[in-house]
Amino acid sequence: MTDQAPALMILVPVFASLALTLIGPLGHRAAYGLLIVSIAISLASALATMVQVVQTGQSVHYRMGDWIPPMGIELVIDHLSAVVLVLISACALLTAVYSMHTARQDNPDRLNHYYALFALLVAGLLGMTATGDVFNLYVLLEISALSSYGLLARGKGKAYYATFRYLIMGTIGASFYLLGVGYIYIMTGSLNMADLAEILSRPELEASVSVRIGFSLIILGVWIKMALFPLHAWLPNAYSRAGTTTACLIAPLMTKVSVYIMLRIMFTVFSADYIFQQIAWSHLVIYLASAAAVLGMITALSQRDLRKMLTYIIVAEIGYLTGGAWLANTAGYTGAVYHILADGLMTLCLFMAVGAIIYRTGQSTAAAMQGIFQRMPVTASVFLIAAASVVGIPPTCGFFSKWYLLQGAVQAGAWVFVAALIIAGLVAAVMFFRLLEMAFFGRLEDAVSENGTENPHAVPPKIRLEEVPLTMLLPLVISGAALFGLGIYTNEVVQYLIRWSVPAGI
């Protein structure tokens, strides 16, 4: 069955989503169970494929419809995509388990349709990561985009306008991607990534303006999709108004998969040599990335709303990832790929923790953090770990990704990026210190006596332990532990997985 695993991991969620559409009458427990089972199968298939890739040291090819590429479409799973596939399915599984209470809270009606869109989004993301065909990628991009519009629009009142803006921006992004594919197709006549790479490496296309335009359009489209500064305006609005489950699913994964696509296009379809010799603007990207990192973090610092703060952290992290990719050296690339993993887990962890806090306190401003350590000790500890990882404190994985990125930046002599990484880290430290101070020492509202005046001699009221239900706590703890685990096994991850995916020529 392992040779069918690449197809199964994408198709099982598709089938699940079809079934979920129809099983409304069976109730929410059936829907919840079906979702978890299907994503668990995906995760198992992704893990099986990753093991196969690591053991053989070669990429796995799966021919759809038994057609030989480039005539047909093939799935290609190499070291890079195997890692991202496992990340996607693992994050989705944790979110699915977590969603038991929050999804019902956010979706009083049509929960099964919500779950169907959830499964479709996962299928779309997995498909985008696994595919070896640039047009197929576009179709799957639209599937994940459409299902995310549906999920985001389930938020409250203002979510509709935020989703609409996301839809407009997302469509512009996807259309630019498609137009870029069109330009590349005119010049090469192919859509298969491996075939394209072979044709594009021919000397007669080196100087072609159309190929450059095609490359620029694709990258521009992907940048809009991944909300790179200054194209990020849609993201904080759309994500911060979404329901808790939606935010936990979309925030860690959508942007990371876009980064993955950027890496694919840059290093699989095109090559580092081509980009840095032929593309005039390629040296400016590092400044954009630095600006994204610094401005994203500073804007995050100025936010009152917890969720909005986290969304600006995503904008900043996108800066790290883009910078790492465009440093064009091994350390930078390793840092970027490792940071996809680290940041995916970090964001998931933060959003889940904040989701848990919102679930219990019912408010999403920073004030909700007050006294969290007494009331929800486990959630607060996990939040602390995730915060440490964002700031970059060892042994969490955030430290190691920053280490690689810094190393890469120093090697490339990109001092702007070095400065940006350090400043962003410091700003993040200030931001989380402020929050955690409130979480540790902030008084509960109960401490303030009834008539509004504080009575210093009153006995502090007994603090009730209000930890969230087990279905929410378990994924939270697992993701927190994963941050440590990934940090501790950094060497192994880099050695067995990421080093193999480093493209030739950088």
Partner 1 sequence: MDELFYFIIAKYNYWAALVLLFIGLFGMIVRNNLMKKIIGMVIFQTAILLFIVSIGVKRGATVPILKFSPDKQPLLDATAYANPLPHVLILTAIVVGVAILGVALALLQKIQRVHGTIEEDEILEDMRK
Partner 2 sequence: MTWDTSLLWQFDILILLMMVICAVTALALEGLLSSAIVTGAYSFLICLMWTHMMAVDVAFTEAAVGAAISTVLFLGTAQYINRWIKKERPREQGIKQITLVIAVICAVMMLSATRDLPDWADPDSPASTHLSPGYIEQGYFETATPNVVTAVLADYRSYDTMFEAVVVFAAALVVMVILRRTSHKHRKLLHLRPKREGRDTILRGAAQSIIPVMQIFALYVLFHGHYSPGGGFQGGVIFGASFILLALCYNLKFSMNRFREHAVLWCCAGGVLLYAGIGAVCLGLGWSFLGYGALAGILGVSEVMARSHGILAVEIGVGITVMAVMVSLYNDLASGGDLEDGL
What are the φ and ψ backbone dihedral angles of 131, each rounded to 5 degrees?
-75, 155
360 binds partner 2 (CB under 8 A): no
**What is the DSSP code string of 196-263?**
HHHHHTSGGGTT-HHHHHHHHHHHHHHHHHHT-TTS-THHHHHHHTS-HHHHHHHHHHHHHHHHHHHH
Q: Which does 299 bind (CB under 5 to 8 A by kind): partner 2, partner 1, none?
A: none
User: Among the residues of 57-158, which ranges form H helices?
Assistant: 79-106, 111-130, 134-152
Which residue's entry shows tokens 């989503």?
Answer: 17
243 binds partner 2 (CB under 8 A): no
* Shortest CB 82 distance to partner 2, Å: 19
Binding track, positions 188-207, relative to partner 1; x by CB under 8 A: ---x----------------
* Shortest CB 160 distance to partner 2, Å: 8
157 binds partner 1 (CB under 8 A): yes
DSSP 463: P
For the segment 108-137, give every residue that binds partner 2 (CB under 8 A): 109-110, 113-114, 116-117, 120, 123, 127, 133, 135-136
Say if CB 345 and CB 326 are below 8 A apart. Answer: no
* Binds partner 2 by CB under 8 A, chosen from 149, 276, 440, 489: 149
Please tell me the distance from the alpha carbon of residue 161 to that of residue 460, in angstroms, as a whole number.
45
Q: Which does 161 bind (CB under 5 to 8 A by kind): partner 2, partner 1, none?
A: partner 1
Q: Which is nearer to partner 1, 158 or 443 (by Cβ)?
A: 158
Stretch of 74-82, 133-141, 256-264, 310-318 contacting partner 1, by CB under 8 A:
133-141
Q: Which does 167 bind (CB under 5 to 8 A by kind): partner 2, partner 1, none?
A: partner 1
Binding track, positions 90-109, relative to partner 2; x by CB under 8 A: -------------------x
Strands (E), 267-352: none
DSSP 500: H
Q: Which does 264 bind (CB under 5 to 8 A by kind): partner 1, partner 2, none?
A: none
64 binds partner 2 (CB under 8 A): yes
Residue 433, number of CB atoms within 10 A of its CB: 12
Would you state the structure tokens that stand for residue 361, as one six-digit string? 């306190």
Among left, alpha and beta (phi > 0; psi -120 to 50; other), residue 502 is: beta
Q: Kindly state the number of chain residues that form the binding site for partner 2, as judged by CB under 8 A.
A: 55
* Binds partner 1 by CB under 8 A, chosen from 30, 40, 104, 175: 175
* Binds partner 1 by CB under 8 A, chosen from 178, 231, 438, 473: 178
Q: Distances in Å between the alpha carbon of 1 and those of 5, 8, 45, 119, 132?
A: 7, 9, 9, 22, 21
Whether omega for the bond prior to residue 469 falls within 30 degrees of 0, making it cis, is: no
Please tell me the distance from the alpha carbon of residue 250 to that of residue 53, in angstroms, as a whole number.
27
Please tell me the distance from the alpha carbon of residue 400 to that of residue 339, in angstroms, as a whole number.
9
Q: Which does 424 bind (CB under 5 to 8 A by kind): partner 1, partner 2, none?
A: none
Would you state the structure tokens that stand for residue 359, as one six-digit string? 């679930």
Q: Which residues bind partner 2 (CB under 8 A)?
A: 4, 7-8, 11, 14-15, 18-19, 21-22, 62-67, 70-73, 109-110, 113-114, 116-117, 120, 123, 127, 133, 135-136, 139-140, 142-143, 146-147, 149-150, 153-154, 160, 185-191, 199, 208-210, 213
Binding site for partner 1 (CB under 8 A): 135, 138-139, 142, 146, 149-150, 153, 157-158, 160-161, 163-164, 167-168, 171-172, 175, 178-179, 182, 185-186, 191
